[in-house]
Amino acid sequence: MIPRYAPKDVAALFSDEHRFDTMLEVEILAAEGLAALGVLPNNEVAQLRPRRPVIDADFVREVEERELITNHDTAAFVDLVQSRIGMPEGAWIHYGLTSSDVVDTALCVTLTQAMDIVIVEATALRDALTRRAQEAVSWPITGRTHGMHAEPTTYGAKFALFALQVNRDIERAKRARDGIAVGKLSGAVGTYSNINPSVEAYVCERLGLTPVPATQVIARDRHAEVLYACAALGTAMEQFALEVRHLARSEVMEAQEPFAAGQKGSSAMPHKRNPVLSERLCGLSRVLRGYLLAGLEDVALWHERDISHSSVERVILPDALQLTVYMLRKATGLADGLVLFPERALENLHVGTQGLVFSQSVLLALVEQGLSRDDAYRIVQSAARNAVEQRRPFREVVAEDEAVTLDEAAFDRIFDATRMLAHQQRFLDALTWLA
C-alpha cells in the first residue's frame, strides 16, 4: 500500500519484521510442543528462546540475500534462524513442519490482529453516525428517490440508517475475524504424518487460534471472508460518502464536508469547497471490491495445495486491511465533522420543491373526501405539473381546482412536515447498542 493510505499501526503488522517475528514464534512453539511429547530433547529446545534472534531490518535483509540462493523465502528464513541460534539447538527449528504450517498460521495471527483494529474503528464510525442521528432526528430534509424530490424525512433518519448498515458490517467483520483466527500444523497435505496433532493444539492455544483440519494450506474461503468484510465496510462508507456528495452540491447545499483553516478547495477557483474526502472514500471502495474478487479467485487451488494464491495474497491482504482502517478513520472524521444546514433543508423542502413533497398527502385527503383514487391522482398530478411550470406553490394550485373541497385547516394539516415525521424516534429505537 502506498504510504498515503497506510496507517502506521496496520502497516507495522504487515511488515517483514512482524511477519518473520510471528513465523519464528510459531517455529519455537512447535519445537516446545514436540519437546513436551519427548520427541525433541528438552534441554536443547529450552535454549531456543534465550537464543532467539532479533528480527530487525538487518535480519530481513539477510533473509532476502539468502533467498537469492534458495529461491524459497521460508527456507531462507529457516536457514538464517538456524545459523543465528547455532547447533545443535537450531536443528530443531522447522522440525516436522512444512512451510505452509508456519506461513499460514503466522498470517492468520496477523489477520486476526488486523481485524481487531478494523472492528474497533468500525465501531467508532458507527458511534459517530449514531451521535449525529441523535442530534438531528427531528431536523426535516427532503427525501429523494431516483434523485427526485419524494417526501420529507430527517437528517437523523439518514444517519441512523447508515449506522445500522455499519453495525451489520461490524457483525460480519466479527464473524470474519473468528473465521480467520485459526491455525494448522499438520504437515504436508495435512495428514500429521510427521507431527502429532497435540502440537498443533499447543501452538494454536498460545497464539489465540483454533486448530482446524486442512490440506497443506488453510482453506482460502476464510481469507475471502475477511476481504468481503472489508469490501462491505467500504461499500457502507461509500453509501454515506455518496449522500454527502449529493447534499453538498451547490444547488442543494444541505450539508458540507468540514473545511479546515488554510484548506484550499481548488487551485484555480477560491470559492470552491469540494467534497474531496467523500469522493476519495467512494473511489477507494472500488479498490476494496477489487481485492475481494482476487480473494475469491484464490479459493480454488489444485488438489491439496498449489501456490497460485500466495503472490496474490502478498498484495491484496496487506493492502485491503490497511485501506479499510484508513477509510474507517477518515469516514469517522467526516461523520463527526459534517456541517449540516437545516435551514437550507427547510427552504428546499417548502420553497425549492414548491411543496410537491406533500403530493401523496393531498392524494389521500382527496380520497377521504370521496374521490376515486384514479380521479384524485389525476388532479394531483396535473396540479404538480402546473406548479412546476408556473413556478407557483403546489398548495395554491391544488386549492384552485373545483373538484377539491378541502378547507384551510385541512390544507394546514396536509402541508405540515412535522405530521409526516411523527415516528422518527423509531429510527433511534433501532440503534439497540444505545441501551
**pLDDT per position as a tens digit, 158-178:** 999 999 999 999 999 999 999
Which pLDDT band holds residue 66 (cuts at 50, 70, 90)? very high
Distances (CA, A) of 267 to 11, 263, 272, 278: 32, 11, 9, 19
Whether the Cβ atoms of residue 281 and residue 331 lie closer than 8 Å to each other: yes
Instruction: Return the pLDDT at 102.
Output: 97
Give the residue from 106, 137, 124, 102 showing the smallest Cα distance to 233: 124
| Chain CA centroid to CA 395, Å | 45
Q: Which CATH number fits domain 346-434: 3.40.50.620, 3.20.20.70, 1.10.8.50, 1.10.40.30?
A: 1.10.40.30
For residues 214, 219, 222 and 224, what is the CA-based torsion angle, rounded to 10 degrees?
170
Instruction: Return the pLDDT at 31.
Output: 98
Catalytic-residue membership of 146:
yes
The CATH 1.10.275.10 domain(s) of the chain lie at: 3-92
- pLDDT, average across residues 383-400: 91
From the list 83, 266, 308, 311, the catalytic residue is 266
Specify the 3-state DSSP secondary structure of 256.
strand
With a cut of 80, say whether residue 435 has pLDDT above it: no
With a cut of 90, say whether residue 239 has pLDDT above it: yes
With a cut of 90, say whether residue 268 has pLDDT above it: no
- pLDDT, average across residues 243-261: 91
Distance CA 187, CA 185 (A): 6
- pLDDT, average across residues 313-337: 98
Instruction: Return the pLDDT at 352.
Output: 79
Instruction: Return the pLDDT at 109.
Output: 98
Quick one: CATH architecture of 99-258+270-341? Up-down Bundle (1.20)
Instruction: Return the pLDDT at 44.
Output: 96
My answer on whether omega of the bond before 152 falls inside 30° of 0, hence cis, is no
Which pLDDT band holds residue 271 (cuts at 50, 70, 90)? confident
In the block, which residue shows the cell 423509531? 426
- pLDDT, average across residues 259-281: 78
- pLDDT, average across residues 373-389: 92
Instruction: Return the pLDDT at 265.
Output: 67
Which pLDDT band holds residue 237 (cuts at 50, 70, 90)? very high
- 312-316, 338-342, 423-427: range with lowest mean pLDDT: 423-427
Q: 192-206, 348-362, 376-390 — which one is most confidently predicted on average? A: 192-206
In the block, which residue shows the cell 476519495? 280
With a cut of 80, say whether residue 270 has pLDDT above it: no
With a cut of 80, say whether residue 157 has pLDDT above it: yes
Whether the Cβ atoms of residue 172 and residue 228 lie closer than 8 Å to each other: yes
Which residues are bridge partners to 100 per DSSP? Answer: none
Distance CA 170, CA 174 (A): 6
Distances (CA, A) of 132 to 167, 239, 434: 15, 16, 13
Give the residue from 412, 396, 22 showing the smallest Cα distance to 208: 22
More confident residue, 262 or 103: 103
Instruction: Return the pLDDT at 354.
Output: 87
For residues 371, 377, 383 and 384, what is the CA-based torsion angle, rounded to 10 degrees?
150
Instruction: Return the pLDDT at 74.
Output: 95
Q: DSSP string of 108-151? A: HHHHHHHHHHHHHHHHHHHHHHHHHHHHTTT-EEEEEETTEEEE
Rg of the chain over Cα atoms, rounded to whole angstroms, equals: 30
CA atoms within 13 A on the CB side of 72: 11
- pLDDT, average across residues 224-233: 98
With a cut of 90, say whether residue 56 has pLDDT above it: yes
The CATH 1.10.40.30 domain(s) of the chain lie at: 346-434
Distance CA 208, CA 279 (A): 39
pLDDT tens digit sequence for 403-414: 888 899 988 899
Distance CA 112, CA 182 (A): 9
Q: Which CATH number fits domain 3-92: 1.10.275.10, 3.40.50.12280, 3.90.1150.10, 3.60.20.10?
A: 1.10.275.10
Which pLDDT band holds residue 267 (cuts at 50, 70, 90)? low
Catalytic-residue membership of 271:
no
Show the cell assigned to 399.
386549492
Instruction: Return the pLDDT at 266.
Output: 67
Distance CA 236, CA 74 (A): 38
Burial of residue 351 (number of CB atoms within 10 Å: 0-12, 13-18, 19+): exposed
- Amino acid found at 334: L
With a cut of 80, say whether residue 259 has pLDDT above it: no
From the list 146, 271, 303, 423, the catalytic residue is 146
pLDDT, averaged across the chain: 94
Instruction: Return the pLDDT at 274.
Output: 86
- pLDDT, average across residues 145-160: 94
Q: What is the DSSP letter of 193?
A: S
- pLDDT, average across residues 3-16: 97
